[in-house]
Structure formats: structure tokens, C-alpha cells
Amino acid sequence: MENELKRLKKIAIQIRRDIIETASFGKGGAIHVGPALSSADIVTALYFKIMHVDPSNPNWEDRDRFILSKGHAYAVLYSALAEKGFFPREELMTARALNSRLQGHPVLGKTPGVDMVSGSLGNGLSCGVGIATALKMQCRHARVYVMLGDGEIQEGMVWEAAMYAGNHGLDNLTAIVDYNHFQSCGAENEIMPLYPLADKWRAFGWQVMEMNGHDMADIVRGLSMAKEFAGRPVCVIAHTVKGKGISFIEHNNKWHVGRCTMDQHTQAMKELDEQETAVEAGLM
């Protein structure tokens, strides 16, 4: 297990490198750096440990589905898909550019490996509920994972979907809240506080788990346990840091969207190299 965790941590570091590279040299301009970095460890665990997907057959009917409801964080999804082999890593530099397969929000049917169009916040869980219901009706064992932003779940539509999923016992559905405490315009607790978040999900009939969204062992353990609950959907509240992994981006909401200068790129890459060295040495 130790070697497996080391492998996953190194992949997460590479995904963060890809995010910074795209934010530095991509043809499509500024990207949502902070929201992508906060979810990198979770997305890594999903694509490289938990989910069953096949890059050679993106439309495999029995695949697990991942919906990035917080679609503005597309850089983390595209980086994971490239690392997994759905398309060449070089294509990441075209994100948000005209005529690219990698648009500024994921597009079903355009980007290999993308399971839902996302962008308008609040829609992902409803689509996930629909897909999970269809899989149940077809007697398929595939699972659906929906990643939501904490600011996003201020949308009423999210709670309509949560009510349906709880009432219909969709135990093939896992919602993951990237709880980094920021949204585009500022701190979540100053705009629309969510506390008590876990109690809200429980009240809608969900099994609730909380985890450290940057502790790979905790992430793998939590997402593995989520598969085992029968009779109800699971909400995983992942406590994260916006901009995680890059010192000058962490907790800095100015990096909700941005573009790196050459100096910032150099510093970020140095920090990520140091993290990889620490992982290799068993210090991280």
C-alpha cells in the first residue's frame, strides 16, 4: 500500500505541474487555477485507483462516470484525462483556445473521457442522479461520482437532486464536495455560510463521510468505503485548501482564475519538484 500511495502522490504532483504549465503557456489564456489545484488529489485517486474507465474505449457502457459539476476547474480534469491516456498531454496547451477539443468548460461529445457538459453551476448532481437511475434500471454495476464546489451547492437545484437521490436510495451515486471555503467572489462563510454542512446532507437521506482532501491515504480509504454503503447515496465532504500545492496560490482567492508569469512558473515548478523529492524519500 505504501508504494501505491507513493505512486498516486506522484501522479497528483504531475497533474499540478500540468495545471501550472497550462496556466503559464496555454494558448487559451487565464484558467481557474485555485479550484483545479484544490481538487487534484481527489481527482487523482478517482482516475488512478477508484474508478473503472478505459481510455481506449471512452464510451464503454459499464464504465464509472465522473461529473465535474464545478466545470470551471476543467484544468484538473483535462490533466487527469491526459495522464490517463485519453488524449496526448501536448493537447493541454490548447485548453480554452478556439476550435480546441478542450473548451473552457467540459463538453460531452467533444473531449474524450468527459461524461457531462458542465459550466452552469448546480447542474451536475441532477445529471448524476439521472445517470445513476438509468444504470440501476439497466442493472449495471457502474458508479457515478459528482464533484461539487462548496460555493456551487448554494444552488437550490443541488438540493432538489439530493432529495431525489436520498428518497430513491441511489447507492451507486457518490457526491464529493470540494470544501475549500472560497468561491469566485470571496469566502464562502461571508457570502452564504454552509454550516452545518454534514447535517444538511444527512437530512436529505445521504450517508455522509468527511475526509482530508489532501491526504492520499485518507482519500483512498474514504472513496473505497463509499462503495460499500448499501441503500443510500454517499456524500464525501473533502476538506481542502484552494490552490493547494503552490505556496503563493494557497488560500489566495485572487487565483480563482489567473495566468502565471515566468517567475511564478519557475517558483511553482521548483516547489512541485521539492514535493516529489519528499514523496520519494517518504517524507510527504
- Residue 272: partners with Cβ closer than 8 Å, 6 or more residues away: 13, 16, 17, 20, 245, 246
Q: How many CB atoms lie within 10 A of CB 247?
A: 11
Domain of 119, CATH number, reads 3.40.50.970
Question: Predicted confidence band at 1 (pLDDT cuts at 50, 70, 90)?
Answer: confident
Cα torsion at 207, 213, 252, 23 (round to 10°)? -110
For the chain, the domain total comes to 1
Task: For residue 36, give its domain range.
Answer: 2-280
Cα(275)–Cα(41) distance, integer angstroms: 13
**pTM for the model:** 0.97
Say if residue 13 is exposed, middle or buried (CB neighbours under 10 Å; 0-12, 13-18, 19+). buried
Question: What is the DSSP secondary-structure string of 20-89?
Answer: HHHHHH-TT--B-HHHHHHTHHHHHHIIIII----TT-TT-TTS-EEEESSGGGHHHHHHHHHHHTSS-G
204 and 144 Cβ atoms separated by less than 8 Å: no
Which pLDDT score, from 0 to 100, does residue 204 have?
Answer: 98
Partners of 209 in the β-ladder: 236
Q: How far apart are the first and last CA of the chain?
A: 15
Digit-coded pLDDT (tens) for 107-152? 999 999 999 999 889 999 999 999 999 999 999 999 999 999 999 9
150 and 168 Cβ atoms separated by less than 8 Å: no
Q: How many CB atoms lie within 10 A of CB 84?
A: 17
Cα(250)–Cα(241) distance, integer angstroms: 7
DSSP letter for 173, please. E
Digit-coded pLDDT (tens) for 166-192? 999 999 999 999 999 999 999 999 999
Query: Nearest CA to 16 among 47, 45, 39, 48?
Result: 39
In the three-class reduction of DSSP (H, G, I as helix; E, B as strand; rest coil), residue 143 is classed as coil
Which pLDDT score, from 0 to 100, does residue 119 have?
Answer: 81
Query: Nearest CA to 177 among 142, 193, 157, 201?
Result: 201
